[in-house]
Amino acid sequence: MSFQVALNFEDGITRFIECRPDETVAEASYKARINIPLDCRDGACGTCKSLCESGSYDGGDYIEEALSDDEAAQGYCLPCQTTPLSDLVLRIPSSSAAAKTAAITHTATLAEIRRHSPTTVEFALDLDDREALDFLPGQYVNVTVPGADQTRAYSFSSGPDRRRISFLVRTVPGGAMSGYLTERARVGDRLQFTGPMGGFYLRALTRPALLLAGGTGLAPLLSMLEYLAQKPPAHPVHLVYGVTTDEDLVHLDTLDEYTEIVPGFTFDHCVADPDSMARNKGFVTNLMDTGTLHDGDADVYLCGPPPMVEAVRGHIASLGVVPASFHYEKFTPAAVRETAEAA
C-alpha cells in the first residue's frame, strides 16, 4: 500500500510520487529521482521545510530550530521526517529544475470536439498512457498547437479521475489554437502537451468555498466540482459564473447537475451584455456580498481574465472582508497563466 504525494514546485510544475506509510517523503522522492531540498536529513536544519496543503501525516522527530510549533500548526512539515497517513499535496521550496525534474510530456489522440458556440469550443483527449498523468483539480497543461510551433495553456475541465480529459477554450480571431480547433481539427488527430502545472488547485475544504469564474475560467472550477462530486465536501460551495454575452454561457446544465450531486453546492450566473436573456445582467461582483463571502470565513477560488481578477479583488476590499484564503489565476488569449494567492 502506498499514498500519492503531489510535489508542487515554486515554478508551478507538479510531480506525483508514490510513498509508503513507512517511508519518508524524502526517501520516496529520492527513489523517484526527484531531488527535493535536503541537508541534514535528520530533522535538524529545516532545509526541507515544506507546506502541506492537503492530507494528513506523521511529522516524525525534529528539533524546534528546524520547525517551530507555530509553523507545524500552520501545516509546515519536514519531508525528511514526514511519513504520509493519506495522499498529500506539498509545496516544495525550490524550482523543479533545482530538484532536477521537469514537467512530463504526454501524447494523446483528439477524441471529441464540441463547438458550444462561435466563442467557445471544448475538446477531449484520450491519452496514450493515462496512468502516467496525475493532476490536481484546477491545474493546467501547455498544449502544442498542431502544425504550429506554439503552445497554449489550458486548464483541465475534467476531474483528475476521468479517463478522457477535456479542455474548454475561448476562441479568438486569428488565434493559433482557435484556428486549429475551428477549422482543421479532426477526431483522430495527434496532440502533445506538457504538465501538469500551476498553483491554482483545490485545497482541502475546511470551511465554505466561493468559486468565481469568468468565461472559460469555468474550466478549472468544473474540474474541482467533478472532484467534489466524488469526495463530498463538509462545507457549502457556491459558484458565481460571469460571461460577456449569452453565447459565451456553457455548461449551465452541468452546473445544474452538480447541485444535485455535490452536497451544499449552489451557483448563480450573470451576463454583462445588457441585451442578455439572463436573469442577472452585469458582473460577478454584483452577485457577491459579505454573505457569499461568509464574512471572511471562506476560501475563494477565482479564474478569469485579468480585469475581472482585479475587479473582484477591489470589490472584496471595498466590502471590508478578508477571505481566509484567496487563490486566483489570470488567463489571457495567449494563455500565459499567472497563478497567485492573496491574503
Residue 35 or residue 144: which is nearer to ligand FES going by CB?
35
Q: Which of 46-54, 124-132, 203-211, 315-323 is the region at the interface with ligand FES (rule: CB under 6 A)?
A: 46-54
CB 244 within 8 A of CB 216: no
For residue 342, state whether it binds ligand FES (rule: CB under 6 A): no
CB 240 within 8 A of CB 298: no
In angstroms, give the least distance from the CB of 93 to ligand FES.
11
For residue 45, state whether it binds ligand FES (rule: CB under 6 A): yes
207 CB contacts (<8 Å, ≥6 apart)?
235, 294, 297, 298, 299, 324
CB 240 within 8 A of CB 288: yes
Residue that the C-alpha cell 510531480 belongs to: 15
Q: Is 191 helix (H, G, I), strand (E, B) or coil?
A: strand
Residue 24 or residue 276: which is nearer to ligand FES going by CB?
24
In angstroms, give the least distance from the CB of 1 to ligand FES.
25
Residue 45 or residue 111: which is nearer to ligand FES going by CB?
45
Say how many residues touch ligand FES, by CB under 6 A. 13
- Binding track over 77-96 against ligand FES, x by CB under 6 A: -x-x----------------
Residue 37 or residue 146: which is nearer to ligand FES going by CB?
37
If phi over 0 gives left and psi between -120 and 50 gives alpha, with beta otherwise, what is residue 263?
beta
- Please identify which residue in 6, 36, 48, 298 interacts with ligand FES, judged by CB under 6 A: 48
- Please identify which residue in 66, 143, 262, 287 interacts with ligand FES, judged by CB under 6 A: 66
Residue 241: count of CB within 10 angstroms of its CB: 26
- Please identify which residue in 41, 116, 235, 313 interacts with ligand FES, judged by CB under 6 A: 41
In angstroms, give the least distance from the CB of 2 to ligand FES.
21
- Please identify which residue in 3, 9, 43, 301 interacts with ligand FES, judged by CB under 6 A: 43
What is the Cα gyration radius of the chain? 21
In angstroms, give the least distance from the CB of 48 to ligand FES.
4
In angstroms, give the least distance from the CB of 43 to ligand FES.
5
Kindly tell me the number of DSSP H helices and DSSP E strands found in the chain.
Answer: 6, 19
For residue 204, state whether it binds ligand FES (rule: CB under 6 A): no
CB 293 within 8 A of CB 316: yes
Residue 40 or residue 172: which is nearer to ligand FES going by CB?
40
Look up residue 199 and give its three cell numbers. Answer: 498553483
Residue 66 or residue 103: which is nearer to ligand FES going by CB?
66
**CA–CA separation, 316 vs 285, rounded Å?**
9
**CA–CA separation, 37 vs 19, rounded Å?**
17
- Please identify which residue in 27, 35, 38, 109 interacts with ligand FES, judged by CB under 6 A: 38
For residue 322, state whether it binds ligand FES (rule: CB under 6 A): no
Helices (H), the chain: 25-31, 69-74, 176-179, 218-230, 252-261, 306-318
In the complex, the residues that contact ligand FES under the rule CB under 6 A are 38-41, 43-48, 66, 78, 80
